[in-house]
Each structure stands twice: as structure tokens, then as C-alpha cells.
Amino acid sequence: MSTKRKKPDENYISLRIRNALVEILIDSGSSRSLIGATTARALKLQIRLLDKFTNRSMFTANGSKLRIIGTAALHFDLKGFQMHQIAYVASELKPQILFGGNFLFENEAIIN
């Protein structure tokens, strides 16, 4: 699951989720956390499908539409803290996983 970047990018963190090393983009401009469906399946995460009343689309910064199919629970260790994040599952997503403003707010993260 690990992707190799040529040079370090401070907007990414590496975490182990279900024993796989994944790269996660920290994106304060996104209101929600997201995971690609392919990544969720590769990590063998349970995808909870959305009910028919839930909005099934989001838009990227460039205006592209993301199709949301459900949610998945991510459990991970971050510097000794056991953490949990619910992420929307997008049918297609680059990067693999994106932690948005909800993750930052819920965890009282400070970006400097």
C-alpha cells in the first residue's frame, strides 16, 4: 500500500492501518476525511453503504465530482495515541487517504 515519493512532502503522514503502511494527505481545505474504495478494499475495511437519503457526492477543489459510496472506520496509532477516524469512501480517490478538517477539529490539531 505504500507509495514512494521522490522527496518528502510535509502534507503527508505515514501510518499503519491493519498492518499496512499508508500515506495520508492532511488537507485542511477538505471538510471531510476520505478513503478510496480500492484502498478500503485492499485494507479489508468494512464499507458501510450510505442510505438513500444521504448525499452521495462531494466536489474537489477543482470542481470535479467525487462519488461517495459509504463510510469506513480507520483505526491507527499516531505517536503512541490510539486513534479512530470515520472516512467517506469515494469510488475513485488520489491520494489513497485524505484526512480533512473534521479530523483536525476533532483531534484539536494545530498546523504551523
The sign of the dihedral angle between the CA atoms of 74, 77, 78, 84 is positive
One digit per residue, the tens of pLDDT, for the chain of length 112 reads 555 545 467 899 999 999 899 999 999 999 999 999 999 999 999 999 988 877 788 888 888 899 999 999 999 988 888 899 999 999 989 899 999 999 999 988 877 7
For residue 107, the model assigns a pLDDT of 86
Domains of the chain as residue ranges with CATH: 12-106 (2.40.70.10)
- Whose CA is closest to 94, among 66, 52, 55, 53? 66
- H-helix segments, 1-112: 37-42, 101-106
**Running DSSP on this structure, what letter comes out for residue 108?**
T
For residue 61, the model assigns a pLDDT of 84
pTM of the model: 0.85
Cell 505515514 -> residue? 14
For residue 62, the model assigns a pLDDT of 87
